[in-house]
Amino acid sequence: MVALALFDGRGRWLMQRRPDDKHHGGLWEFPGGKVETGEKPRDALVREIDEELGIAIRQGDLTPVTFAEETAVQGRLPIVIVLYRSLYNGSPLCAREGGELGWFDPEGVARLDKPPLDIALAAHLFEKL
């Protein structure tokens, strides 16, 4: 899995609230999604951000920042999320898959209810800033 920490250049980061009817519904996360078979992580993130937010991100603008992984889960492989960072180019955003979008400073991100892996991603992202 891949996720994007989109920075507005003024100290705020984009977070996306998951629709209530989805797994982790109502929780806030970094936008992103699954890497399809045969797809490179950066390609997957470019595709996912277009699908979810309606904006074009260039692969060259993506900087890997950190990753988070689940502890072993019986019967399946653990989920691993790679977090990339990019500067927002000002294109209009649209929550194409429902939910809500919001810009938050690091303290605001820390206060949001998030899935466990997004908690870890945010902690790693902001400790490196």
pLDDT digit string, tens, across residues 50-86: 999 999 999 999 999 999 999 877 778 889 999 999 9
Residue for token pair 């399946």: 76
Whether the pLDDT of residue 122 is over 80: the answer is yes
pTM above threshold 0.95: no
Write b or e for each residue in 82-108: b if 16 or more Cβ atoms lie within 10 A of its Cβ, otherwise e: bbbbbebeeeebeeeeebebebbebee
Average pLDDT over residues 26-52: 96
**Which pLDDT score is estimated for 33?**
95
- Sketch out the chain's domains with CATH numbers: 2-127 (3.90.79.10)
Whether the pLDDT of residue 16 is over 90: the answer is yes
Residue 3's pLDDT band, with cuts at 50, 70 and 90, is: very high
Mean pLDDT (the chain, rounded): 92
**H or E stretch including 109?**
helix 106-111
SS3 of 2, please?
strand
